[in-house]
Amino acid sequence: MREIIFDTETTGFDPLTGDRMVEIGCIELINRVPTGATFHRYFNPKRPMPASAQAVHGLSDAFLADKPIFGTEVEALLEFLGDSMLVAHNARFDFGFLNHELKLCARPDISLDRMIDTVAMARAAHPGAKHSLDALCTRYGIDRSHRVKHGALLDAELLAQVYIELTGGRQIGLGLGEDAASPEIVTIAPSFDAPQRASRAPRLFSPTDEEKDRHTAFVAGLTNPLWHLHGKETA
């Protein structure tokens, strides 16, 4: 099973008001294990970078000035994504910007059916807790000390570790395979020819009159039996 963890950085919050994607970082997982394959690009948004956005990711107009526009990298991106499921944190935000950029290139949207949102997964797994990427890294003991500012590839790498924890933890990468989940049932036959015996009807055992008389005499000879103490103190 192939999945892509991805993250974006943008000039703001809403592509419908002119904000653009300036960075995308993608991590490939096969059976929930990172393969080492990545896709990472910066894009020139062809508009000024707001100071508030630059404070988040550190990407300035000067840094992005010589970077390609999204349209020149779209084919390479789509080839990397393939038809895999796409995992993102607060995924509707990233899908919104990705599909907006695709629309500007006259490319079809990526279906939301391919979307996996780790925020929704975290809310289901840890109701009432904080669900930011930083909070989930802290919860799962994932080192984020090198995360000074947001970065698409760095955040995708951290999110890949969070996603693995949300879907079962590190033990899923032990390579047990599908066969281990459904072991073959083995029937062991006896190594000898067991004799075939005819079954017989069960026998019923009832006490004889003599046994009943002996039991009555035995009970009569008991000293202070417990059933005679009913309603009295026993201590």
165 is an annotated ligand-binding site residue: no
In angstroms, rounded to a whole number, what is the distance separating the alpha carbons of residues 114 and 220? 82
In angstroms, rounded to a whole number, what is the distance separating the alpha carbons of residues 16 and 2? 31
134 is an annotated ligand-binding site residue: no
92 token code pair: 């509707």
28 is an annotated ligand-binding site residue: no
9 is an annotated ligand-binding site residue: yes
Phi then psi for residue 67, to 5 deg, are: -85, 155
Contact 98, 21 (CB under 8 A): yes
The one catalytic residue in 89, 100, 131, 150 is: 150
Q: Which 3 state secondary structure label does DSSP give 40?
A: strand
Q: Which of 79, 101, 72 is nearest to 26 (CA)?
A: 79
150 carries an active-site annotation:
yes
Annotated binding residues: 7, 9, 57, 155
- Residues with a catalytic annotation lie at 150
Annotated binding residues for substrate: 7, 9, 57, 155
